[in-house]
Structure 1
Amino acid sequence: MTTPEPGGGPLLSATGLHIAFPGRRGAPTARAVDGVDLDIKGGEIVALVGESGCGKTTLARSLLGLVPPTSGAVTFAGRPLDYAGRALKAYRKRVQLVLQDPSGSLNPRHTVYEAVAEGLRIHGYAGDERAAVAEALSRAGLRPPDRFFLRYPHELSGGQRQRVVIAGALVLEPELIVADEPVASLDASVRGEILALLLRLRDELGLSALVVTHDLGLAWNIADRVAVMYLGRIVETGTVEEVLTAPQHPYTQALLSVLPEAPGDPVVLTGEPPDPSRIPGGCRFHARCQVLASGEAERAGVAGRCRGEDLAVLSGRGETQVACHWAAAGGAP
């Protein structure tokens, strides 16, 4: 099975994905992912952006095969994801996870060599293990690699530890990595280095990536395409330039308004995101929407629809799309 070429069909695709968790002691079911279509092409970096609790990590874990969907499907290279043990193990060799906290994802008792070689041993690698580990460390920017073989995580800087985690993913030669807040725990001086590394891996290896983040500035620096998630659904998607320079959804506008370089005053959203076990009717953002609160939606004639009419799930394809009655009515700039 070959990886789809950039610009061709999707490498990874989610269609109609729903993930629900039963409540305890009769509490309502939490709809963590509530209808998502998302495509990632070969050689493409997609940023999945949103506040904490919006369902980003649950969606990412489902795409990795760690959380089976309640309904809907995940396909990889045109084939449905098989959750049987052997098939899932083979899939996880091709799709690797990079966690946000390198200190928490590295065993403090294992050397760098052992940490990177672990995946090879799990998957029964029959080649030259030492050469594979050295190549992965080198690709991750730890050179000369043999200088790091016998070092322990506590002997490394935060950036070096994150590079070890990335090397542990690269050693299996995956086609896609899922990076969950890959630079959130790093100093600002190191973040740019790790982002540059991910871009270089995309360019040199044709590696695809889903980068999960709350940081739109990070998305601007690394992504080809961005998907903005709110309360279990993607509410706006498109190329990073289109979405971040001309956002149409009020939620995206609010997220962008707090960036240091953003023009005008920050938009302060009232309250916390609603409970996923009690998703409101109509647009799921309407209770916090600054456009509705200011009367702009009323003037555009869509306030009633905002409060009472649900919006369709956006397609996972690459074109710019927005789930917003006000934007659809021409209210967005």
Structure 2
Amino acid sequence: MTETQTAAETVSTGKGALLEARDLHVAFSARGRSARAVDGVNLAIGQGEIVALVGESGCGKTTLARTLLGLERPTSGEVRYDGSPLQYGSRALKSYRRQVQLVLQDPMGSLNPRHTVYEAVAEGPRIHGLPDEQEIVASALSRAGLRPPERFFLRYPHELSGGQRQRVVIAGALALNPKVLIADEPVASLDASVRGEILALMLKLRADLGLSALVVTHDLGLAWNIADRVAVMYLGRIVESGPVEQVLTAPRHPYTQALMSVLPESPERIVLTGEPPDPTRVPGGCRFHPRCQVLASGRAAEAGVDAACRSEPLSILPAVPDAQAACHFAAVGG
């Protein structure tokens, strides 16, 4: 049994989960209506496990990530870390954010252009009053692949390549010796030649430090290359999840199938019709049904589930390691 399998199996019921969302809901007021950005999510990340959270823009994945970081408070449900509910007092959040760190997609935007690399990486340790600052900064830069670290201390962001800037952002997270990284589109702004280097770095950090990670992305190819498990999100809910090889080689939900179809090796392209997801207007029945190619093609009617697709809501998926899909058509073996 591999370490990855062990980590996946420990999250089967939330037991052993390092970071967990339980029946999480986050709603905002928008244009006089309630926007259900996260509308019932169960998600668990085990020790040393990398989970990819995949979906198109507007599906709620960034709001979910911000809520897991404690930057948004849930309307209902809870975030749990190491078995305990997240507390929202300033002292508790400060302690929590030493354990769970954010890596942003735009290093040029997240790095202060007036601060040197040293100052950027030292910011977290200074906030938390950690001793041996220079040693911490040097170690973090070295672990992020910027060696020798002293060579980068006095450089400014504009003097670095895109890949080097992203490594500085990662070093800033590592300086606090976290247990979990939440990486929001970590390679979206990088050239293809550099993307592989950053993904390899994240895998190395998992191997060397036992880090867990939630990687938020719209790119299923990235999920394939880095994740142990994948969770596919649509309109505030996870609609399919499971081991990455199983979900991405044999996707059961029509939405996952459509996302997979844009990859170069896909035999056919599935073009979704209808409106993009609007969290202020969640449709009845299956929330994907207005855009579903299986329903539009008549295959759902042939399977006798077309009425259910339009009218019967689906259960919220639990946080289990096995492959699962919230789909009436998939449930009858479609």
* TM-score, normalised via structure 1 length: 0.96
Q: Secondary structure at the match of 1:12?
A: strand
The aligned counterpart of 1:87 is 92
TM-superposed CA distance for 1:77, in Å, is 0.2
TM-superposed CA distance for 1:201, in Å, is 0.2
Residues of 2 paired with 1:177 and 1:104: CA distance?
19
Superposed counterparts of 1:102-251, under 5 Å: 102-125=107-130, 127-251=131-255
Write the letter of the residue equivalent to 1:270. Answer: T
TM-superposed CA distance for 1:195, in Å, is 0.2
Residues of 1 paired with 2:275 and 2:143: CA distance?
41
Q: Deviations over 1:27-85 (max 9, x none)?
A: 21000000000000000000000000000000000000000000001100000000011
The aligned counterpart of 1:67 is 72
Q: Deviations over 1:80-105 (max 9, x none)?
A: 00001100110001000000000000
The aligned counterpart of 2:3 is none
Write the letter of the residue equivalent to 1:93. Answer: R
TM-superposed CA distance for 1:22, in Å, is 1.4
Residues of 2 paired with 1:90 and 1:115: CA distance?
20
* TM-score, normalised via structure 2 length: 0.96
TM-superposed CA distance for 1:23, in Å, is 2.5
The aligned counterpart of 1:22 is 29
Of 9, 31, 38, which residue of structure 1 is paired with 2:43?
Answer: 38
1:271 and 2:277 are equivalent in the alignment = no
Q: Secondary structure at the match of 1:178?
A: strand
Unaligned runs of 5+ in 2: 1-5, 11-15
Percent identical: 74
Q: Secondary structure at the match of 2:33?
A: coil
The aligned counterpart of 2:293 is 290
Superposed counterparts of 1:50-61, under 5 Å: 50-61=55-66
Q: Deviations over 1:222-268 (max 9, x none)?
A: 00000000000000000000000000000000000110011x21000
Q: Deviations over 1:263-288 (max 9, x none)?
A: x2100001332311110000000000
Residues of 1 paired with 2:292 and 2:136: CA distance?
51
TM-superposed CA distance for 1:180, in Å, is 0.1
1:255 and 2:262 are equivalent in the alignment = no
- Paired positions, count: 323
Write the letter of the residue equivalent to 1:117. Answer: A
Write the letter of the residue equivalent to 2:199. Answer: L
The aligned counterpart of 1:12 is 19
Write the letter of the residue equivalent to 1:12. Answer: L
1:318 and 2:325 are equivalent in the alignment = no
Residues of 1 paired with 2:103 and 2:262: CA distance?
27
Of 291, 307, 310, which residue of structure 2 is paired with 1:307?
Answer: 310
Q: Deviations over 1:142-194 (max 9, x none)?
A: 00000000000000000000000000000100000000000000000000000
Residues of 1 paired with 2:75 and 2:187: CA distance?
31
Q: Secondary structure at the match of 1:22?
A: strand
Residues of 1 paired with 2:262 and 2:216: CA distance?
19
